Structure formats: C-alpha cells, structure tokens
Amino acid sequence: MTVDNYTSIWTSVLKSLSKQVKKTDFLVWFQDTNILDLNNESVVVGVPSIFAKDWFEKKYRSIIESELKNEGYDKSLTFQIDTSLKAEAKGVDVKNFLDSSKRRSRKINNRNEVSYKFDSGKSTEANTIVSKMLNPKYQLSNFVVGSSSRLAFAACQAVAQKPGNAYNPLFIYGDVGLGKTHLLQATGNSVLKNFDDAVVVYLTAEKFTNEIVEAIKKNNVRGFRAKYRKVDCLVIDDIQFLAGKGRTQEEFFHTFNELYHENKQIIISSDKPPQDLEGVEDRLVSRFEMGMIVDVTFPDYETCLAILMAKSQELQFMISSEVLEFIALNINSSIRELEGILTQIIAQSRLEGAPPSIESVSRTLKKLGKLLPNHSSHSGGYNDNPDMNSSNSNNNSVLMPSTVIEKVASFFNLTKFDLIGTRRTRDIMIPRQICIYILRNHFNLSFEKIGSEFGGRNHTTIMHACQKMEKGLKNDSKLNNLINSVRQNLNL
C-alpha cells in the first residue's frame, strides 16, 4: 500500500471521528496525524508529539479502533510519534472536515508583510502602505472557541470570508488579555489567505496616531490620507487610545468614511463598548455602532482547560490533566495570564527536571499571589492540604471540588459516595442539591464540570438541581439557615 492509500483511509476515519469528538478537541489532537504503516497484523498511527501520543492512548484508542474496524481494518493499533508529520505537513489537515463552506486555500508563503505601492509616482514612505505587524502566530485555527468568544469568533470568520460585506465595521471589545489582538490579527491573516491580492493593514491606534503626528510634522497629511484609502481591510487595535486626541479622531473619521463607502472592511478593538468610550467624538461612536459589536469575556472552565491543552501541546510539553485542571480553576482574570503561568510552570519543571505536580504548581501560584483563597466567590481552587480543617483561616488554602463534596457530605453525616451516588431519598437529595448549588454559586463551576464531579451526571440534571435550590431559597427560611451553616463550615 502507498502513502496515499494510508492518507485516504485515515481521512475517512477522521471524517467519522470529527462527528464524535468535540470540535476544539478534534482540532487540537487530530491535526497532523496519519497512518504510518498498515499490514496484515497492525496499524500504526503517527502523531506529532509525545503529548499527543499519551492523549491518544488514554482518550481516543477505542474510538479509533472501532472506526478502523468499520473501514475493514480490524487490527492491533499502536501510536508512534513522528514529528515530520507536522514539520513536513505529511499529516492530514483536519480543519477541512469541520468547515463545510467553501474554502479557498491559497498559500501565502509565510508572508507576514504586505505592501502596496502606487502604480505611478515615486514609492516613498508616504505613499507606500506596509504592514509588518500581521503576526502569523495568530490564526483563527489556533483560537480556542468557548461560549465567551463564540459570537466574536463567528463574526471574525464571516468577515474573513466576505470582508467589507458581512459585518462592517466589526467592533470587538473586552478586558485585557482576552484575545482581542489575537482575533484581529487572525482575521487579517485569514483575509490575506482568502484574498491573495488584498491589502490588509493592522496597526494599533497608538501607531495610527503617531503616523498622523508625523505626517502633520512633515506637512504630508494628503499623503497619509491617500495611503490609508488604498487599504482593503483596516484593522485598528485598542481604539480607546484615541480618547481625547481630536486631530487623530478627525483623520480617522475621514478614513473610516471613505473605506466604509467603498465597502472596505474595518475591524476595531477596544477595552470598552463604543458608547462608553469617553473622549471619543459622538460621530465616531455612532460610526462604530453601525456594524457588529461583540464582546469577549473570560472563558468558562472548560474553555480555559482547552486553551491550556492546546498551548501545552503547541509547546510540546506533557502536563497531566489534573495539573491543567488545577491551573484552569485558579486563574480567572485573563488568558494572557493563563499562558504566562503555563510557560512559567514549564520552565520551572525543565529546570527542576521533574514533571509539574499540583503541589509544585500551587507553590508557584502562591508565590505569584495567584492562588485563589477559598472564600473567593469567583472560582474554586484546590486544597492540596487534606488536613485543613474548617477553622483554618489561611487565605492561601483553597478547596478542590472533591474536597467540597467530602466536607458537605460529612457535615450531613454522609459519605462522599452517598452524595455523588444515585440514591434519591430526601436525606441525601437535599445535601446533594446544596452541594451542587455551592459548587455552582461559590466556585463558579460549569454545569458540565459539576456533572462530572457528581459521577458523570448530565449538565441539565445539575442545572435543574441549581434551579430547584434557588427556588427553595426564595421562600424556605429553614433551607436558608441550613445552607448558611454549610457555608460557614466551608469557610465561605
């Protein structure tokens, strides 16, 4: 059999798998994989890293075996690391399976610089448009989508496919470190990929301002205007920087209008929604409001975990899922921070020559002042000290979901297994619901996560339990008292 045969068999296996595996997981794990060998006895599937190999062994072995069987290859399966799959693009590109819309895949030869020169006239600084700032590391394909960014991501995809057409302007806002720059640059990169001859310019509002100041100084405002009006897709990051800068706003207003009327795409990011941009002229604010306004917020626990997995795979570093969960539970302000912590943990682990453990990571987080105290109302954390008792007021001690379950159980003289089990007597049901309610409301865990802590219950079951508690708390003072005692017992 030839390599092409392998690829075609693997492609049909992947097609079926793409329907069974969560989209983000599929993109993260199945990219750059392929069949390396297939003979009478065995199938060898190549994966790009040791991290992926471990993951495949643990999570995907059985579904791959069964899909291979469906294809007529009921053989023993082994996984083998082959870095050339990625480096030499010998693996299968899985992105095509998830997007059925037409995809024009023109290669842009690692181009990260776009230049435009006037047909006539001298090519001077003023009439040449050059963007050196599109960073190829930002791609839509390596942006992990969660509920907090789904709309923004969908808008970016639509813009990348039909710039100037879908949402114009596209205005993305949110706090720092939540992926705005990533989305902006990725959309720019994607427009370039889809439209080879497009002129895409990314710049921060600060750089835009500096260029105007420079143009005014050199008495070349006309050159500046002419230059930006040749752009097909103008991407301006951190527009809030224009606050209070009247002259820059005026220039931007004219540029905006011209591009807008020519159906050229404008993408803007900001740390706040348009109406809250103080010091920005109303006429600009109303222009921003003409298109699509979407926000990005801090992702839920599952997305944080998916981001951590994707990043550790990118860095080719193996970290156990417990440790990744621990990080995801304890960081709740920005994705940049999540990345920073991960990098630090990897560096430390390499230095010490030992794999990261919950203990070592919690030490690092404590040092950085990042470990969430257990009375935090935002998210839960782990308690790596099982002896911690309820009178312990150490702010650095944090609770792990399973510890919360144990403590609630013992408060009611039950065992953890009573709570996570399926018995439905009232003396167990109420404590179970209280525990679920606390995990949801004090630790901000998702319904899915709580479901998995409670013996793999469905998220709707968990949601109902929470709703029931909320209803009960409105008019049942006994229940209120009971929950308060449990909270006290947990130091919440």
Q: Give contact residues for ligand ADP (rule: CB under 6 A).
A: 143-144, 149, 174, 176-182, 307, 335-336, 339
**Could you say which of 49, 127, 181, 330 contacts Mg ion (CB under 5 A)?**
181
CB nearer Mg ion, residue 96 or residue 135: 135
Q: Which token pair is 134?
A: 């599109």
| One-letter identity of residue 273 | P
> How many residues bind to Mg ion according to rule CB under 5 A?
2
Paired strand residues for 44 = 37, 78
Paired strand residues for 115 = 130
CB of 423 to ligand ADP, least distance (A): 40
Q: Which token pair is 262?
A: 């020519």
Distance CA 190, CA 200 (A): 10
Distance CA 329, CA 323 (A): 10
When CB distances are held under 5 to 8 angstroms depending on the partner's kind, the choice from Mg ion, ligand ADP, none that residue 131 binds is none
When CB distances are held under 5 to 8 angstroms depending on the partner's kind, the choice from Mg ion, ligand ADP, none that residue 339 binds is ligand ADP
Distance CA 390, CA 280 (A): 52
When CB distances are held under 5 to 8 angstroms depending on the partner's kind, the choice from ligand ADP, Mg ion, none that residue 337 binds is none
CB of 125 to Mg ion, least distance (A): 26
Provide the pairing of β-strand 34-38 with 200-204. unpaired
- The piece of 72-80, 174-182, 441-449, 450-458 that touches Mg ion (CB under 5 A) is 174-182
CB nearer Mg ion, residue 53 or residue 180: 180
CB of 361 to ligand ADP, least distance (A): 19
- The piece of 102-110, 172-180, 352-360, 431-439 that touches Mg ion (CB under 5 A) is 172-180
When CB distances are held under 5 to 8 angstroms depending on the partner's kind, the choice from Mg ion, ligand ADP, none that residue 177 binds is ligand ADP
Question: Which residue number places its CB atom closest to Mg ion?
Answer: 181
CB of 165 to ligand ADP, least distance (A): 25
CB nearer ligand ADP, residue 149 or residue 362: 149
Sorted by sequence, the CB contacts under 8 Å of residue 165 that are 6+ apart come out as 263, 265
Query: Taking CB under 5 A as the rule, does residue 330 contact Mg ion?
Result: no
CB nearer ligand ADP, residue 47 or residue 144: 144
Question: Which residue number places its CB atom closest to ligand ADP?
Answer: 179
When CB distances are held under 5 to 8 angstroms depending on the partner's kind, the choice from ligand ADP, Mg ion, none that residue 307 binds is ligand ADP
Distance CA 346, CA 336 (A): 15
3-state secondary structure of 236: strand
Q: How far is CA 327 from CA 2, 145, 370, in A?
A: 44, 19, 10
Q: How far is CA 140 from the centre of its chain?
A: 11
Choose among 246, 233, 101, 242: nearest CA to 170: 233
When CB distances are held under 5 to 8 angstroms depending on the partner's kind, the choice from Mg ion, ligand ADP, none that residue 361 binds is none
Query: Taking CB under 5 A as the rule, does residue 33 contact Mg ion?
Result: no
CB of 153 to ligand ADP, least distance (A): 8
The alpha carbon torsion through 298, 299, 305, 309 (nearest 10 deg) reads -80
When CB distances are held under 5 to 8 angstroms depending on the partner's kind, the choice from Mg ion, ligand ADP, none that residue 157 binds is none
Distance CA 107, CA 111 (A): 9
Sorted by sequence, the CB contacts under 8 Å of residue 151 that are 6+ apart come out as 294
CB nearer ligand ADP, residue 238 or residue 384: 238
Residues that bind Mg ion (CB under 5 A): 180-181
